[in-house]
Structure 1
Amino acid sequence: MPRAYCPRCQRPDSYCLCSLIPCLPSRTRVLILQHPSETRHALNTARLAALSLENAELRIGEQFADPSIVDPSSYLLFPGPEAVPLAELAGSARPLRLIVPDGTWRKARKLLYLNPALAALPRVSLPEGAVSRYRLRKASIPGALSTLEAIVTALNLLEGTGRFDALLKPFDALIDGQIRAMGENIFRRNHDFQR
C-alpha cells in the first residue's frame, strides 16, 4: 500500500511538518526558481521557504520566459566576483525582490545559463563564513547553505537579525527526522562531517 503524503508540505503523513511551518510577512519579495530535479528531493528546502513566507513564490523549471521574472527591484542571490554584499542593500527605501536559484551548484549555474535575463541581473552575496545546519550533506564549497538557510540569512540581513529564524524550525525537524530514519550509527559513519 503506498504511503499517504501531506498535500501541503509533501512529506509522508507520519512526518508532516505543517505544524512547525510559520507564516511570516516580509517586505522583501522572494522568488525561488527551482530546478525540476529538486522537487522530489527528500529535504526540498525551497518548498519549506515558500510555505513559510507570505511574500514568496516558488516556480519550477529550467527556462523561464515570463518577462515578469525580471524587474527593476530584482537582485539575484548568487555568488560571483561582481556580487555586492547583501548587507549594503539593508535599509533600502524601496522593497527589494530576491531571486534565488534552487538546485545543486551545477544545476543553479545551468538555470543562469538557460536564462540570460536572469544571469544579467545585479548579483548579491551573503557574508563569508556562514555555517550550514544541513548535517546530511557536505558542502562542495566553504560557506554553502541550503536554499532555506540562504533565504533566512538574506532576510535577516535586510529586515532585522533573527526575525526569520523561525523558518529554520521545520528545517531542523526535517533533518532530525532523516537522521532518525537512517539510524544514528549510519549517520555518524556516512554523514557526520564534524569529525
Structure 2
Amino acid sequence: MSRIQCARCLRPESHCLCALIPQLDSRTRVLILQHPSEVNHALNTARFAALGLINAQLRIGEVFDDLGELLRQPGYQARLLFPADDAQPLSVYAATKHEGDPLLLVVPDGTWKKARKLLHLNPALTLLPRVTLAQATPTRYRLRKAPGPGALSTVEAIVQALQTLEAPQSFEALLRPFEALINGQIAAMGDETYLRNHAVQSPTS
C-alpha cells in the first residue's frame, strides 16, 4: 500500500517538509527546467527552490514548446546557469545589478547527462549567454557522489547564485528543507550504512 503524499512538497505526509520551506522574494527570476526523471526522485531538491522562492517557476518536461515565451519575460535578461568556456561568472552581474534589467536565471535540473539532453532538445537554450558560479562552495549533498569539484544540487546552485547576485540578502533559508531531507534519509538508513556507503573516508597514513 502506497503512502499518502503531501500534494505540495511531494514527501510522504508523515515526513512533510512544508513547514521548513520559506517564502523569499528576489530581484532575480528563476526558471527551473526539470527533466521528468527527477520528479519522483527521493532527493528532488529543485522543488524546494521553486516552492521557497516567490519569483520562481518550475517546468517539467524534455521539450518545452513554449520556451520562447518563457524566456521573453519583460524586464529581465535571460541567462543559462550551465558551464561553458565562455560562461561569465555571476559576480559580473552582481557588480552591475543597478545598471540593467535583473536576470532571468534558467536552471536545467537533472543529472549532467539529462541536463545536456534538455539543451540538445531545446535549441533556444543553447543560444542563451551562459553564467557560472565562479567559486562554488562544497556541496552539502552527502547522499550523492559529486561528479567533480564544484558540483552542487540544484537548490544549492540556486542559493549560491542568488547569494552572489543579491548580496547582502541571504537565501540560506532555502536549504532548511534540503538539510532536513538529507538528515532524514541518513537516519532512515542508519549510521553504519551511511558511513559505509556515503561518508568520505579519511586517507590512511
- TM-score w.r.t. the length of structure 1 is 0.96
Per the alignment, residue 127 of structure 1 pairs with 134
**Alignment check: 8 A CA contact 1:130 1:144 kept:** no
Unaligned runs of 5+ in 1: none
Name the SS for the 1:4 alignment partner: coil
Superposed CA offset, 1:12-57 (max 9, x none): 1111000100000011000000000000110110100000000000
Structure 1 residue ranges, 4+ long, deviating more than 4 angstroms after superposition = none
Query: How far apart, in 1, do the equivalents of 2:169 and 2:26 lie?
Result: 13
Is 1:180 matched with 2:187?
Answer: yes
TM-superposed deviation, 1:82 = 1.1
Per the alignment, residue 14 of structure 2 pairs with 14
Name the SS for the 1:110 alignment partner: helix
Which of 154, 162, 167 is matched with 1:160 structurally? 167
Name the SS for the 1:54 alignment partner: coil
Query: How far apart, in 2, do the equivalents of 1:108 and 1:161 lie?
Result: 30
Which of 85, 90, 93 is matched with 1:89 structurally? 93
Match for 1:124: what amino acid? V
Per the alignment, residue 74 of structure 1 pairs with 78
Query: How far apart, in 1, do the equivalents of 2:183 and 2:149 lie?
Result: 23
Query: How far apart, in 2, do the equivalents of 1:131 and 1:161 lie?
Result: 20
Query: How far apart, in 1, do the equivalents of 2:127 and 2:198 lie?
Result: 37
Query: How far apart, in 2, do the equivalents of 1:68 and 1:79 lie?
Result: 24
Superposed CA offset, 1:117-174 (max 9, x none): 1111000000235200000011111110000000000000000146101001111000
Show the 5 A alignment for 1:11-50: 11-50=11-50
How has the CA–CA distance of structure 1 residues 161 and 174 changed in structure 2, closer, same or farther, with 3 Å as cutoff?
A: farther
Name the SS for the 1:127 alignment partner: coil
Match for 1:163: what amino acid? S
Query: How far apart, in 2, do the equivalents of 1:168 and 1:9 lie?
Result: 14
Query: How far apart, in 1, do the equivalents of 2:133 and 2:201 lie?
Result: 23
How has the CA–CA distance of structure 1 residues 192 and 123 changed in structure 2, closer, same or farther, with 3 Å as cutoff?
A: same
Percentage of pairs with the same residue: 62
Match for 1:61: what amino acid? G
Which of 155, 158, 178 is matched with 1:171 structurally? 178
**Alignment check: 8 A CA contact 2:5 2:12 kept:** yes
* Equivalenced residues, count: 195
Name the SS for the 1:135 alignment partner: coil
